[in-house]
Structure 1
Amino acid sequence: MTTAAEVLDIARARGVMIATAESCTGGLIAGRLTDTPGSSDAFERGFVTYSNLAKIEMLGIRPETLEAHGAVSEPIAAEMAAGALARSKAGIAVSVTGVAGPGGTEHKPEGRVCFGIASAFGIHTETVDFGALGRAQVRAATVDHALELLAERLRA
């Protein structure tokens, strides 16, 4: 498992600042990164966009994308990551949107999280079904996976 300190070290070595756009984690990814002393030289900013309105206003998510796909979708994760990149001085942005639980639906079950990574190399999205682990465990797994994605993209 990649630690926040490792992600920050890779970003520093590449001369890249990081931004986050978080929904279901409510700022936990930014929190994990900034728990590391000296993170200010590699972490630029975080957007906590829990509501759809916040996603629209802060990240520029298109209402028509929300209507067509819903908030928990790869198209929204892509727009969130792209919006965070465009609205910051960062060189890479990670986004997360999902159903931490409890609850969910047949089409969007508890534990489903969509991730986005945006950088100069484009946008990558993926969906992970962590399962109904419980709210805290889904959010923790989401933070860990987001750090892995950041490290992978920074190393590319």
Structure 2
Amino acid sequence: MTLEEEVVSLLREHHLTITTAESCTGGLIAGTLINVAGVSEYLKEAYITYSDEAKEKLLGVDPKIIETYTVVSRETAEAMAYGGAKAAGSNICVSATGIAGPDGGSLDQPVGLVYIGCAINDEVSAKRFVFEGDRQTVRKHAVTEALCFVKEKILELDEETK
């Protein structure tokens, strides 16, 4: 079973819906989920919010978050995930914001820096990653980690009910 099949199976099993809010991945998370037949019952919406303005307009990210922490930050990833879940009315939203390269990096924010956010039933968290490789490799790693994060969060629901 592929990772995306596992995620969709968990969504089905837990009667959950998901939304994606993507910047550096440009829709690859949603596209990967769409590889699974029947996902249309669980995937509510997919936002590609590459610009700051799109993050603010579509996801409700407060411009002060971007101004204070930058667009590539834990805080922005969390705000994107929370806003995407609210905008779509879904149980889960996974977000990705980062610097896929080859340009745009700095000492503080190197090429390959990606934050993955996940909102699940109003609880929001994010993880920081620094991936190596070219632009496509960074994006592919981000998709894998995003789906792993969603899987982890859904499985935590099982632990909470035990």
Q: Point out 4+ residue stretches in structure 1 off by more than 4 angstroms.
A: none
Give the aligned partner of residue 35 of structure 2. Answer: 35
Alignment root-mean-square deviation, CA: 1.2
The residue identity in structure 2 corresponding to 1:31 is G
Q: Separation in 1 of the partners of 2:63 and 2:84?
A: 17
8 Å Cα contact 1:92/1:119 also seen in 2: yes
TM-score, length basis structure 2: 0.92
Offset from partner CA, 1:19-76 (integer Å, 9 cap, x none): 1100000000000001211111121111100000000000011111111111000000
Q: Residue 89 of structure 1: CA displacement?
A: 2.4
Point out where structure 2 has 5 or more consecutive residues left out of the alignment: 157-162
Q: Separation in 2 of the partners of 1:85 and 1:44?
A: 9
TM-score, length basis structure 1: 0.96
Equivalence map 1:1-156=2 (5 Å): 3-103=3-103, 104-120=105-121, 122-131=123-132, 133-156=133-156
The residue identity in structure 1 corresponding to 2:152 is E
Give the fraction of aligned pairs with identical amino acids, expressed as a percent: 37
Point out where structure 1 has 5 or more consecutive residues left out of the alignment: none
SS across alignment from 1:123: strand
Q: Separation in 2 of the partners of 1:77 and 1:100?
A: 15
8 Å Cα contact 1:2/1:148 also seen in 2: no
Equivalent pairs, count? 155
Q: Separation in 2 of the partners of 1:19 and 1:149?
A: 14
